[in-house]
Amino acid sequence: MSFYECLRAFPEGAASASRMALTAKGLGYQGIIICNCEPGRIFMPQATEMIKGIEVAFGVEVTASGSKALKSRISALRARYPFLVVRAATEETIRVASEDPNVDLLIHPCEVRRPLGIATARAAKLNQVSIGFDLSPLVRLRGNPRARWLEAVRRNLQLVRKFELHPVITASANSHLDLHPPRDLVAMAQVAGFEQDEAQEALRRPGILLALNRRKWVGPGVELL
């Protein structure tokens, strides 16, 4: 199975791109997608070419100060990178990302007070935007905060299933020490409410999106071979 993980590398993370790739390979991943906010500043990205047996792709996490700036930045980065992620922190960011077909992955905050809405789910379905579930709070949180987070994840997952959206799971690793083997990440997703095959497919989804984006499309459904 081709499992892919989305992560950050130095200087936005604590480990170099090559270190992340080497660790991910040892854990059983077939590929990683490094999604820094400023990918041009990644430390020695060419060093990843020396690590065989794992695909290393460079995407980008799109950030901006407002909705207009976010739309503009997404459009500008689409042609330069094969994978675009938006980590939503506000309702405005969620709306813009779900309505833009140039966005590959929208990582939702999974908060009880700010659940995934029906309008967002419909927009994501229309624009083929995958919904990301960051599972790192399962490790970081304890007690009531973890219980509330699990409740929010399960509510969002119900809506993802209802609208037949494509979920993606990630540990959002900032260091090689934050990486989890695919089997462990699938188990964590099951604790959060995923079915096993659903979690495995969610871990394969980034690689599928990467392959689709690398193909040359001249129009909707028309590919240049």
**Strand-strand pairing, 55-58 and 60-61:** unpaired
pLDDT over threshold 70, residue 220: no
pLDDT in tens, 161-173: 999 999 999 999 9
- In degrees, to the nearest 5, what angle opens at C-alpha 210 toward C-alphas 106 and 170? 45
Q: So what's the pLDDT on residue 167?
A: 98
pLDDT in tens, 109-148: 888 788 899 999 999 999 999 999 999 999 999 999 999 9
Judge contact between 108 and 87, C-beta under 8 A.
Answer: no
pLDDT in tens, 47-79: 999 999 999 999 999 999 889 999 999 999 999
CA distance 91 to 66: 11
Model pTM score: 0.93
Across all residues in the chain, what is the average pLDDT? 94
CA distance 155 to 137: 16
Percent of the chain with pLDDT over 70: 95
